[in-house]
Amino acid sequence: MAEYKRPSSLMPMATGYCPGCMHALATRLVADVIDELQQADNAINVVSVGCSALNLYSWKGDVIGSAHGRAPAVATGIKRCLPDRLVFTYQGDGDLAAIGLAEIMSAANRGENFTVIFANNQTYGMTGGQMAPTTLIGQKTTTTRFGRDAQTTGYPLKMCELISVLEAPVFVARYALNSVKGVQDAKKGIKKAFEMQMAGKGFTFIELLTNCPTNWGMNPLDTLEYMNTNTIPYFKPGIYKDKEAEA
């Protein structure tokens, strides 16, 4: 039977995330894969601004905080100088798909050889639940009190779809963390992305559909079903691009 233990990249402390928050699960998945690949001493975690910034304090390995939206630029600087290190960014949806849109698209388009872990919880968690570029139509947030209206705010941004039309990225996939199967698939996807990076293949992008029980105003269990009926039908999980499989 497999042993269940704390990944070596995590500090022996509570994460700081709200109870039931999937940021904790996502962080753990990344740390588990790093252990499996024996990369704990070689990985560099480029943390973004958002609830993910809490990673700064619970991550035991090399970690660097970056400005809101700029993690892909920071990772570019790091990876160009230390090409042998396993470099990844961990970014929220406000960070990546709003303020950091130029940085993520440009890093993806340059084919930078690092991995992006994108935690899409359809809200600005850290600042108290405002509308994110990924907020679903009709979803209530503190800046869309009557639900997101496409007339004035447009539609939720589909990052996997956008990035997969670029030429350079080698692996682009979306997973939902609200089921055991989703979690297992996500772990496989993260592992594949890291392996491709270590083989020098190029830019890899993993979107994880996550929750924000606090700002969704829901108990954590209810978020699982909410994701099945609302999030997943719009943000369809799947592999959007896999250059290895194409080859």
Partner 1 sequence: MEKRFMKGCEAIAEAAVRGGGRFFAGYPITPQNEIPEYLSWRLPEVGGAFVQGESEVASINMVYGAAATGKRALTSSSGPGISLKAEGISYLASAQLPAVIVNISRGGPGLGSIQPAQSDYLQATKALGHGGFRAMVFAPATLQEAVDLTYNAWDYAERYRNPVMILMDGCLGAIMEEVELPEMKEPTFENTEEWCLARVGGRTDSHMITPILPEPALELLNKGKAMQYKMWEMLDTKVEEFMLEDAEHVVVAYGIAARVAKEAILRLREEGYKVGMVRPITLYPFPKASLDNLDYSLVKGVIDIEMTIPAQMREDIELQVKGRCPVHEYGRSGGMLLDDEGVYDAIAEIVKGGE
Ligand X SMILES: Cc1ncc(C[n+]2csc(CCOP(=O)(O)OP(=O)(O)O)c2C)c(N)n1
Per CB under 8 A, contacts with partner 1 among 36-95 are 41-42, 44, 46, 53, 56, 59-67, 70, 73-82
Output the smallest distance, CB 86 to ligand X, in A.
22
- Our CB check for Mg ion shows the closer of 90 and 202 to be 90
- The number of residues that bind Mg ion (CB under 5 A) is 4
**Structure tokens of 217?**
């105003």
Distance CA 130, CA 122 (A): 9
Where does this chain bind ligand SF4 (CB under 6 A)? 17-18, 21, 23, 51, 121, 125-126, 212-215
- The SS3 of residue 108 is helix
Q: Which is nearer to ligand SF4, 26 or 193 (CB)?
A: 26
> Which is nearest to 191 in space by CA: 32, 7, 28, 44?
32
Contact region with ligand X (CB under 6 A), list: 37-45, 92-100, 185-193, 237-245 = 92-100
Total interface residues for partner 1 by CB under 8 A:
31
> Contact, 186 vs 178, CB < 8 A?
no
Nearest to 36 by CA among 44, 45, 28: 28
- Residues 101-140 vs partner 1: string with x where CB under 8 A? -xx-xx---x------------------------------
Binds 93: which of ligand SF4, partner 1, Mg ion, none (CB < 5-8 Å by kind):
Mg ion
Q: How far is the CB of 198 from partner 1 (least distance, A)?
A: 16
The DSSP-derived string for 6-17 is: --TTB-SS---S
Check if the beta carbon of residue 45 is closer than 8 Å to that of residue 61. yes
Residue 17 or 203: the one with the smaller Cβ distance to ligand X is 17
Helix (H, G, I), strand (E, B) or coil at 96: helix
Site membership for Mg ion, residue 91 (CB under 5 A): no
Question: Rounded to the nearest whole angstrom, what is the least distance from the CB of residue 99 to partner 1 in the complex?
Answer: 10
Count H helices and E strands in the chain, helices first.
Answer: 12, 7
Binding pattern to ligand X, positions 47-66, x when CB under 6 A?
--xxxx--------------
In angstroms, the CA 173 to CA 193 distance is: 9
Measured CA distances, 101 to 14, 20, 71, 157, 163 (Å): 31, 28, 11, 11, 11
